[in-house]
Structure 1
Amino acid sequence: MPDTTAWTEIDVGAVPGTPDTMRLMRRSDGFTIMVGKCELMSDLFCASERALATIACDHLRDRPEARMLIGGLGMGFTLGAALEGLGPQASVVVAELVPSVAAWARGPLAHLFGGSLDDSRVEIRVEDVNRVIQAAPAAYDAILLDVDNGPEGATRRQNDRLYDAWGLKRARWALRPGGILAVWSGHPDRKFKARLRRTGFAVEEIRIRSNITDGRRHVLWIATRIEDPNAA
């Protein structure tokens, strides 16, 4: 009788700028994406990834033509929730660094994405989200970042640049007045929360379960751009 608890490797993709590989794994109850022994995402634990977009969209209800940037395609849960929460005139740019992740979205993980990749509001860019942010002054109403396991790059050290003071200033620069920077993390980080405030954001920290039955709690920071940084 086959072992239904064992993971089977489906595909492997290079992580640009590192010697590491990203692996798509499957077993009877679902899929996971891993780098080394680090699980980056799973279709069994996706509530917090969906909440990242749902909460951000709640802040954009007065912006029917909102423009959103999502850093990290993953398994499509954040994108799907964003499309549910945004209106028909909104638009979403998804920046995914790893070409294999974009390919998996139309291959073995297509059932998780449904029709979201073909939604007319969506543009997928196989590109570093950091570059997209740097090229876009006051272009977005919301920027959602889920490109690693938190503000410290576990997958790729260059990801740290998104979360340091310089990166947060660039994100603020890319947001329109009152725009939202929403960040997903697998763990709390008081220093990062303080850094957000110092960079000109009003910050709400939300703890949320990874799914309805799992005890693990992830952290979402919902940071609103304010025009007077001294008021953060």
Structure 2
Amino acid sequence: MKSGNDFSIQYGSEELMGSCDHVSEEALATLTCDRLADGHGQVLIGGLGMGFTLGAALSAWSPRSAITVAELVPKIVTWAKGPLAHIFRDHLSDPRLTIEVADVHDVIAGATDRYDAILLDVDNGPDGLIQAENERLYCPWGLRSAYAALTVGGVLAIWSAYPAADFDARLAEAGFDVEERRVPAFAGSQDDFHHIWFASKPH
């Protein structure tokens, strides 16, 4: 949807991504990079959206890094190169970037000890809102797949618009060291928060 200079990607009446408020989507990348030993290595981003997490990752990680975005919906990539190109700026031409039109679950399942960071913003939280298959990312065996895909010391970061009481325990059962952070939903917010889980693969 478009209103003036503002854009919104929605699923029914539920906003998945808007061009106005993206503080927490950027924090998903910057706070993950802060938790790593250095800003090098392989990064996997699940979900292209409007490119705010991608842009923050490109700024946070070094020129020697490699960033892969797995986007399930081809139309999202088309929009990024068309009506949303002014939002993406020159991000899509960055030589560190590879975009795969694929289910991020399949990309994760096909990797072992590969990624230093996996950033997931494919739904509004750790469940299958957009499609039931997304539950595979957050169920015990899906989290174990992410654990296997990470390098030692790597971080799985998961964005959510809401808290999930049992998700910390689920991550811990998969072998992760877990930290949950509340971040402002928009700049200056005092009472509206989003949530990010940082799940580290122990040394």
TM above 0.5: yes
Please, which of 189, 195, 200 is the counterpart of residue 219 of structure 1? 195
Aligned match of 2:71: 96
Aligned to 1:133: 108
Deviation at 1:210, TM superposition (A): 1.5
How far the C-alpha of 1:60 sits from its partner, in A, is 2.8
1:38 deviates by 1.1
What is the match of residue 138 of structure 2?
163
- 1:149 deviation in Å? 0.5
Structure 2 contact 33–39 (Cα < 8 Å) conserved:
no
Which residue of structure 2 lines up, in the alignment, with residue 71 of structure 1?
Answer: 46
Aligned counterpart, 2:159: 184
146, 164, 169: which one aligns with 1:194: 169
Contact 2:36 2:153 in 1 (8 A): no
Distance 1:36 1:142 in 2: 31
Q: Which residue of 1 aligns with 2:81?
A: 106
Whole-Å separation in 2 of the counterparts to 1:84 and 1:59: 15
Asked if 1:144 corresponds to 2:144, the answer is: no
Given candidates 11, 26, 34, the residue that maps to 1:58 is: 34
The higher-RCO structure (CA 8 Å, 6+ apart) is 2
Q: Kindly report structure 1 stretches of 4+ aligned residues shifted beyond 3 Å.
A: none
SS at match of 2:166: helix
Quote how far apart the aligned CAs of 1:209 are: 1.1
2:61 partner amino acid: L
Q: Report the count of equivalent residues.
A: 202
Q: In structure 1, give the amino acid aligned to 2:168.
A: K
Q: 2:23 aligns with which of 47, 51, 74?
A: 47
In the alignment, what sits opposite 1:82?
57
Q: Which has the larger radius of gyration?
A: 1
Alpha-carbon deviation of 1:95? 0.1
In the TM superposition, residue 213 of structure 1 has moved relative to its aligned partner by 3.8
CA distance in 1, matches of 2:179, 2:125: 16
Unaligned runs of 5+ in 1: 1-24, 228-232
- Structure 2, unmatched stretches of 5+, are none
Equivalent-residue separation in structure 2 for 1:193 and 1:101 (angstroms) = 30
SS of equivalent to 1:190: coil
Q: Secondary structure at the match of 2:128?
A: coil
Letter in structure 1 aligned against 2:30: T
Q: Give the TM-score, by structure 2 length.
A: 0.96
Instruction: Provide the C-alpha distance between the structure 2 equivalents of 1:168 and 1:217, rounded to a whole number of angstroms.
Output: 24
Aligned partner of 1:154 among 97, 112, 129: 129
Alignment of 1:17-28 (within 5 A): 25-28=1-4
Residue 98 of structure 2: aligned partner: 123
CA distance in 2, matches of 1:33, 1:169: 30
- Pairwise CA distance, 1:29: 4.5
Percent sequence identity over aligned pairs: 50
